[in-house]
Amino acid sequence: MTRLIDIVVKGYPRLSETFIAQEFLGLEEAGFTLRIWSLRHPTDKKRHAIHEAIRARVTYLPEYLKDAPRRVFAAWRKVRHLPGYRAALRAFLSDLAHDVTPNRIRRFGQALVLAAELPDDARHIHAHFIHTPGSVGRYAAMMRGLPLSFSAHARDIFTTPARELGVKIADARFVSVCTQDGANALTRAAPGFAARIHLIRHGIRLARFPLFEGTRPARDGKSADDPVRLLSVGRAVEKKGYDGLLRSLALLPRDLAWSFDHIGGGENVVALKAQAVALGLEGRIRFHGAQDSTKVLEAMRAADLFVLFARIARDGDRDGIPNVIVEAASQALPVAATRVGGIGEAVREGETGLLCEEGDEAGFARIMAQLIAEPNLRAQLGTKAQENIPRDFSFDAGLARLRALFEGVA
């Protein structure tokens, strides 16, 4: 039985995709050999410690075909006589008819290079994210006559047309998906292949995020010298809703003492800083930029409340279950969030956190105000969230199911 998997990802390593890194490390520890094929070079200046522990060789495919014409042409010359090349070309042309974009052409060129440079011992191609990496993996798997599988998450499910999802699922041995919301969307796209879709939640490695065993001060928002500490971790992009969160913070009662820390990079950080000033909140808000997992853990242990005002972006992108919510739960940190994507699957209303509807800034201000003023409620919700981790987000249980799927393909 082979335990070799060639995995296609969009970019590697990425600070925001610790769920992928912990899966890679778990598979290696379980005896699998991985080779990573990345469509993009890393843009983050920092790395998590977990990335240093992963042994897999990383190969970067041409990010733009114009920058590596000789590599792409040499790949085409090598693979054009393979038995599966014509099937892959037909699949690409069919996709191109529905998506006449440079991105679609780039995916086929990257697949040519992947198929040409895969060593002869390749046995299975797996793509993390069913959209762009999924297309590259699918075309290359066709060319090389290899079994194919996908991991689907959130943006890739909800921004990919149903037709394309359907043909990919039909070609796959299996698809793992991390939320019930995502599994339902995939089943609607490929109703005849529901048995290939497997719900495997992203668990948390407690060795990386040890459970918080301390106690937090009973801050109640009455002391300006000791404000209730709010925290959010996430990229400053549209779907995270940080502009709405800042407006909600501005609606909090003026006599309530709180501070807010944001950890994460992203394209909207500069605009958010300007917005904080315009709302008169600059003295209460700190933007820390992207940080590694050690800093995130320290921030969660120092915080009193985790907040996330997620929403559905204009292009349909949304969160699945953000890994940071599970990490917050491991630190007995209660959550205030919106009911978007799979968040309601992780945050149980009135049990592990409080929720409001997407876009309800006044409603979000109300639940934040309640949690700021009630330290006993925060402690109760945080304790229950932590207790649910072994049952709902066991990394070992999820890894065992994923291992079985890979071994079944072999």
| pLDDT tens for the 410 residues of the chain, in order | 458 999 999 999 988 888 899 999 999 999 999 999 999 998 887 788 889 999 999 999 999 999 999 999 999 999 999 999 999 999 999 999 999 999 999 999 999 999 999 999 999 999 999 999 999 999 999 999 999 999 999 889 999 999 999 999 999 999 999 999 999 999 999 999 999 999 999 888 887 789 999 999 999 999 999 999 999 999 999 999 999 999 999 999 999 999 999 999 989 999 999 999 999 999 999 999 999 889 999 999 999 999 999 999 999 888 888 889 999 999 999 999 999 989 999 999 999 999 999 999 999 999 999 999 999 999 999 999 999 998 889 899 999 999 999 999 86
Do residues 55 and 184 both lie within one domain? yes
Distance, in Å, from the CA atom of 343 to the CA atom of 289, rounded to the nearest integer, reads 23
Residue 266 lies in a domain: yes
**Tens digits of residue pLDDT in 48-90:** 888 999 999 999 999 999 999 999 999 999 999 999 999 999 9
Residue 14 lies in a domain: yes
Do residues 195 and 236 both lie within one domain? no
**Tens digits of residue pLDDT in 378-398:** 999 999 999 999 888 989 999
Mean pLDDT of the chain, nearest integer: 95
Q: What is the pLDDT of residue 19?
A: 87
% of the chain at pLDDT higher than 90: 87
Q: Are 337 and 358 contacting, i.e. CB atoms less than 8 angstroms apart? A: no
Residue 208 lies in a domain: no
Q: What is the pLDDT of residue 1?
A: 47
Q: Identify the three-state secondary structure at position 294.
A: helix
For Cα atoms 330, 333, 339, give the angle at the middle one, nearest 5 degrees: 95
Residue 122 lies in a domain: yes
Residue 88 lies in a domain: yes
Burial of 288 (0-12, 13-18, 19+ CB in 10 A): middle
Amino acid identity of residue 190, one-letter, is A
Do residues 52 and 150 both lie within one domain? yes
Do residues 197 and 114 both lie within one domain? yes
Do residues 270 and 170 both lie within one domain? no
Residue 219 lies in a domain: no
Do residues 170 and 297 both lie within one domain? no
Beta pairing partners, 34: 5
Q: Are 306 and 232 contacting, i.e. CB atoms less than 8 angstroms apart? A: yes
Stated pTM of the model: 0.86
Query: Domain range spanning residue 289?
Result: 228-392
Q: Count of domains in the chain?
A: 2
Do residues 185 and 275 both lie within one domain? no
Where residue 50 sits, what CATH number does that domain have? 3.40.50.2000
Residue 309 lies in a domain: yes
Do residues 19 and 162 both lie within one domain? yes
Q: What is the pLDDT of residue 222?
A: 97
Do residues 175 and 247 both lie within one domain? no
**Residue 118: Cβ within 10 Å count:** 21
Do residues 175 and 290 both lie within one domain? no
Do residues 376 and 403 both lie within one domain? no
What DSSP character marks residue 369?
Answer: H
DSSP symbols for 4-24: EEEEEEEESS-TT-HHHHHHH
Distance, in Å, from the CA atom of 198 to the CA atom of 169, rounded to the nearest integer, reads 12
Do residues 364 and 403 both lie within one domain? no
Nearest residue to 199 via CA among 177, 174, 169: 177
Q: Are 373 and 227 contacting, i.e. CB atoms less than 8 angstroms apart? A: no
Residue 213 lies in a domain: no
